[in-house]
């Protein structure tokens, strides 16, 4: 059974220096968010290290892994290839690295698109990916502040940005992303919270 030190060595061999650093930063941010919001810190850290493990792999090999994990690749034909790595990464961790913790696997599986009814750990990793130390988009400080207060607020903020940005560029938006957005928005409306 591999430990975090082994996983760090493994991703170092699979990723560019920049993305390797990004992965370590996401792991740190995920651990902090887990501590703050009561998720499993150890699982958050491991998922953070592994979340982008297939990001620099070829599309063909990614599709092979997705199929190996029993997922339908036909459905992905019209999807943005940028989302493949969440599925191929999950498959690689399960098949090649023997990761069998379903909490960690699902946090990797939904770290790009999100989905309806996300687990706490899924939200932690999704949010950590947006606020990691290497991120430097214009309103990253706003995002970090939101993340320090509420995962749902931070996620809604990032989803609004991502969905708008994809639509502006006439790129496809995965239905899980739209469902994730609607789900969080419904929670806000039900609780009558300010947006």
Binding site for Fe ion (CB under 5 A): 52, 129
**Min dist. Cβ of residue 1 to ligand DGI (A):** 26
Contacted by 162, from ligand DGI, Fe ion, none: CB < 5 to 8 Å by type: ligand DGI
**Position of tokens 């469902």?**
179
Instruction: Give yes or no for a contact between 112 and 139, defined as CB atoms under 8 angstroms apart.
Output: no
**Min dist. Cβ of residue 192 to ligand DGI (A):** 27
- CA 163, CA 178: separation in Å to the nearest integer? 8
Contacted by 113, from Fe ion, ligand DGI, none: CB < 5 to 8 Å by type: ligand DGI
**Min dist. Cβ of residue 81 to ligand DGI (A):** 8
Contacted by 88, from ligand DGI, Fe ion, none: CB < 5 to 8 Å by type: none
Nearest one of 192, 191, 190, 116 to 155, comparing CA atoms: 116
- 40 vs 52 by CB, closer to Fe ion: 52
């Amino acid at each position: 059974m591999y430990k975090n030190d082994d996983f760090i060595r493994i991703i170092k061999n699979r990723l560019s220096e920049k993305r390797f650093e990004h992965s370590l930063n996401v792991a740190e941010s995920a651990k902090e968010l887990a501590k703050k919001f009561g998720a499993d810190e150890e699982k958050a850290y491991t998922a953070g290290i592994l979340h982008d493990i297939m990001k620099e792999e070829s599309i063909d090999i990614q599709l092979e892994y997705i199929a190996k994990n029993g997922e339908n690749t036909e459905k992905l034909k019209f999807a943005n290839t940028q989302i493949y790595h969440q599925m191929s990464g999950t498959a690689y961790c399960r098949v090649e690295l023997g990761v069998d913790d379903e909490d960690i696997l699902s946090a990797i599986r939904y770290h790009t698109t999100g989905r309806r009814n996300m687990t706490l750990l899924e939200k932690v990793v999704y949010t950590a990916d947006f606020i990691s130390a290497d991120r430097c988009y214009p309103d990253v400080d706003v995002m970090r502040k939101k993340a320090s207060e509420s995962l749902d607020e931070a996620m809604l903020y990032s989803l609004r940005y991502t969905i708008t940005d994809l639509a502006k560029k006439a790129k496809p938006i995965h239905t899980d992303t739209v469902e994730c957005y609607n789900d969080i928005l419904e929670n806000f409306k039900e609780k009558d919270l300010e947006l």
